[in-house]
Amino acid sequence: MPVTYWAEHLWLEDRVVPGVALDVADGRVAAVRRDVPAPPPGAEVLRGFTLPGTANAHSHAFHRALRGHVQAGSGDFWTWRDQMYRVADRLTPDTYHALARAVYAEMALAGITCVGEFHYLHHAPGGRPYDDPNAMGQALVAAAAEAGVRITLLDTCYLSAGFGQPPTRPQLRFSDGTAEAWAERADALTQDATTRVGAAVHSVRAVPADQLETVARWAEERRAPLHVHLSEQPAENAACRDAHGRTPTRLLADHGVLGPRTVAVHATHLTGEDVAALGGAATGVCMCPTTERDLADGIGPAVALQDAGSPLSLGSDSHAVIDLFEEARAMELDERLRTRRRGHWSAARLLHAATAAGHAALGWPEAGRIAVGAPADLTTVALDTVRTAGPPPSLAAETAVHAASAADVRHTVVAGRYVVRDGVHTAVPDPAAALASAIAAVTGPA
């Protein structure tokens, strides 16, 4: 049914435009009418600053159960990983669906309209396939649909504990045995209006070099996005050099993994040659600043990557927080700390990373913008909260990026329909209670 949304202030062509009516039909923008100073009769009113829905380009939904738990004590990425494995071992298709539904509802409340789920938890404990080999992936797809967000299921190939090492017991759930078996299982996944399917190489340590091309070819044949964790830890780089005499980036390049539909996640510890190789291949990079700082991973060379030709997107990864505005400003603020200089990206460029670039990274190039024919996916940020009040509306982009939080999202619209209205999720009655229940089911006593 056609509907008109009236935006008090709209992010349009990289500037704030007051008084814009958006006519929506069949889930897409049918018309953009400027100079509409008051809501037309019957229009849905979006008070505040409306921008394209944001895209969370890197998610591990079950990691949300670790929030709070892994912040107690100290350690590093590897000690964090041990706790992650314990949660993974307790998930079933039903408990994963309940947890992911609540997590995706939290994302919608944060203004996220599309998520890229980096999915490697495929099988039952011990590695036995479920009767439906894609039961866990289907649980994620159903959870996203029920929470009202789009999803790109990045089905992940994960075969090894390390270079030449078989999977450990916790990793048996992740492994299909070979890349060919992974591809056969992934072939059974289907797409619909709100679901797209992509591929992922978990990392160079988890997919043997002689099987990387199988995954890359699968994605190429389907013109699907291909994501890969890259150089998140110096230990990964050192192990790759020991095993192959080259960096992980060079190994991926040599096996045909890099390219414009590929996204490297983290890309924290790179050489100058790595940066040039990624940029020269137009390989995207997804930065996940809140996770990278939570795990003490380091600060990646985002400015150098962008300058070299790599499009930048953003993800909340382990969900230490779920807030794309925080991810956007953290990318800038981390770079300020590293260089002791301000202003590496404008608010417009950071919003681009959170919207259009994120959607493109997930295989939705038509989304993440407000234009005729684009999906009617919108996020409205309130400009009258204690965090956002004060600046003039002309500075709404700067306010959103540098001051707002997920708590300031007033409305979220996906395909022309409210998913969040006045801060309330329209389909998940109590997301906080749903999160508490789902997390208790996988972290409580055995």
Residues carrying an active site annotation: 266, 317
Single-letter amino acid code for the residue at 9: H
Identify any residues that bridge with 114 across adjacent strands, giving them in sequence order.
55, 150
Alpha-carbon distances, residue 287 vs 232, 266, 350 (angstroms)? 11, 5, 12
Q: How far apart are CA 31 and CA 22, in angstroms?
A: 6
Q: What sections of 223-355 are H helices per DSSP?
A: 234-244, 248-254, 272-280, 289-294, 302-308, 324-339, 347-354
Distance of CA 114 to the CA centre of its chain: 8
Check: CB of residue 107 under 8 Å from CB of residue 187.
no
Q: Tell me the DSSP string of 236-263.
A: HHHHHHHHHSS-HHHHHHHTT--STTEE
Residue environment code for 227-243, b if the CB has 16+ CB neighbours within 10 A, otherwise e: bbbbbbbeebbebbeeb
Q: How far apart are CA 257 and CA 247, in angstroms?
A: 14
Candidates 275, 225, 277; CA nearest to 58 is 225
